[in-house]
Amino acid sequence: MDVVVLGAGVVGTEVIRGILAESGHLSSRIGVPLELKAVVVSNLDKPRDPVIPQELLTTDAETAVDGADIVIELMGGIEPAKTLITRALDRGTSVVTANKALMASHGPGLYAAAEAAGVDLLYEAAVAGAIPIIRPIRDSLAGDHVNRILGIVNGTTNFVLDQMSTQGSSLDEAVAVAQEKGFAETDPSADIDGLDAAAKAAILASLAFHSRVAIDDVATEGIRGITAEDVAWATKNDQVIKLLAAAERTDDGVLVSVQPALIPAEHPLAAVRGAFNAVFVEAGAAGPLMFYGQGAGGKPTSSAVLGDLVTAARHRVLGGRALGESAYAALPVVPAGRALARYQIRMVVDDIPGVLAQVAGLLAARDISIETVIQTEYPTDNTAATLIITTHKALEAELRRTLVEIAALAPVREIVSVLRVERGTGG
């Protein structure tokens, strides 16, 4: 079984290490010898881990792909990954990829090419690294109905928020620590702005609800607006702030979003610390399920890639293929404004009578009811107060419109933050 690896970065190096070090073990599981035939790179002169045999390195991707039984794509990005994967599938070559951006943007076309050729397109490593989540949703829950998914699927933002919570760091300070430890890129925008999590949310929603959901369908808000004060207030109230990827089946279709949210300390996702990931699934018959583990890094991600490699190779030996795209439900993606959720609004107001009545009146005018109100002294100005309002479930579009009106009130100095609020387990 001839294997070609496209890309020799952190993940690619660990996959190559695994193929070479465990060749006997992998071959026994597959039923035929497994041989690494080529490693495609863009620069032959770049220093690399000595585990990669120099004689296997090549820049001729097309020739390498054409000679493979299985192609493992670990280049990342859209191109040339999309062209090379399509080339492999069209030639009847099975493909394993960890490319979340590509699957979230061009999954249907790649699925169609795999279906036409009768080969596998596997991507367990595209979501949550080492955590088995694609296969459980696609295969294990195939006879059930998934109703909702909540996930911490970006280790960088989880590490940053954890640093802010445990160390009292600002966002910028926490990002700097994440960069020092190798959890964040020099430009952390894809993580901090929620784009990485949005790609993963689109993939999970597509699988869970048998519908096509693209990354552009995901309402996305990152964590740039989260302050140390937000985190401290959450801790004081037995809550934590997490960047949640959420996908939910509603009567109108599918709601998919990525946004920071307050979750209670007793929720299983609250205990996910550092750069770890977790996905919480609510299914009709199975009930609540939690998948937890390392969501990034070379070794953890290589575990998922090698698992897909064994599956694809076994199918080539014995026949058959993994389940392909399931989009029979064709549920529409519901606009983000129609999401129904609880929210916490924190604002600074003049410390004078009647402010709460004005704010409550505007909320009531749009059928947004108040669950709790807390008013505290503003620490640096005795003429101001901090007002924290938690709403009952409300339409996001109505809340956003009301916030514009609240911000225009004379006694309201600033709306500091607006965070979605999750309830306990399954909430």
Q: Where in the chain is the domain with CATH 3.30.70.260?
A: 339-421
Has residue 424 got a pLDDT over 80?
A: no
Which segment of 75-84, 173-182, 198-207, 354-363 scores lowest on mean pLDDT?
173-182
- Report the sign of the C-alpha dihedral through residues 67, 73, 79, 82, in that order: positive
CB 332 within 8 A of CB 380: no
Which tens digits make up the pLDDT trace of 50-69?
999 999 999 999 999 999 99
* Residue among 133, 83, 58, 85 at smallest CA distance from 303: 133
In the prediction, which pLDDT does 427 show? Answer: 43
Which tens digits make up the pLDDT trace of 251-273?
999 999 999 999 999 999 999 99
In the prediction, which pLDDT does 296 show? Answer: 80
The CATH homologous superfamily for domain 134-294 is: Dihydrodipicolinate Reductase; domain 2 (3.30.360.10)
In the prediction, which pLDDT does 426 show? Answer: 45
Q: Where in the chain is the domain with CATH 3.30.360.10?
A: 134-294
In the prediction, which pLDDT does 425 show? Answer: 59
Give dist(CA 210, CA 294) in Å, integer: 27
Give residue 78's pLDDT band: very low, low, confident or very high (50, 70, 90).
very high
As a dihedral over the C-alpha atoms of residue 351, residue 353, residue 355, residue 360, rounded to 10 degrees, the angle is 140
Which tens digits make up the pLDDT trace of 294-319?
888 889 999 999 999 999 999 999 99
The structural architecture, per CATH, of the domain 339-421 is 2-Layer Sandwich (3.30)
- Please identify which residue in the block is written with the tokens 């600002």: 170
User: What CATH class is the domain 2-129+298-318?
Assistant: alpha beta
Which segment of 138-147, 155-164, 293-302 scores lowest on mean pLDDT?
293-302
Give dist(CA 140, CA 135) in Å, integer: 7
Q: Considering 181, 200, 236, 393, which one is annotated as catalytic? A: 200
Q: What is the mean pLDDT of the chain?
A: 94
Output phi, psi for 362, to 5 deg: -65, -40
Q: Where in the chain is the domain with CATH 3.40.50.720?
A: 2-129+298-318
Mean pLDDT throughout 363-378?
A: 94
Give dist(CA 168, CA 78) in Å, integer: 38
Question: Encoding tokens for residue 424?
Answer: 């306990």
CA distances to 80, 147, 199, 248, 255 from 216, rounded to whole Å, are: 21, 21, 9, 16, 13
Identify the helix (H) or strand (E) that includes residue 241.
strand 239-250
184 Cβ contact partners less than 8 Å away, ≥ 6 residues apart: 156, 159, 160, 175, 178, 191
In the prediction, which pLDDT does 394 show? Answer: 95
Instruction: Assess whether 393 carries a catalytic annotation.
Output: no
Give residue 182's pLDDT band: very low, low, confident or very high (50, 70, 90).
confident
In the prediction, which pLDDT does 37 show? Answer: 97
Question: Encoding tokens for residue 56?
Answer: 């296997």
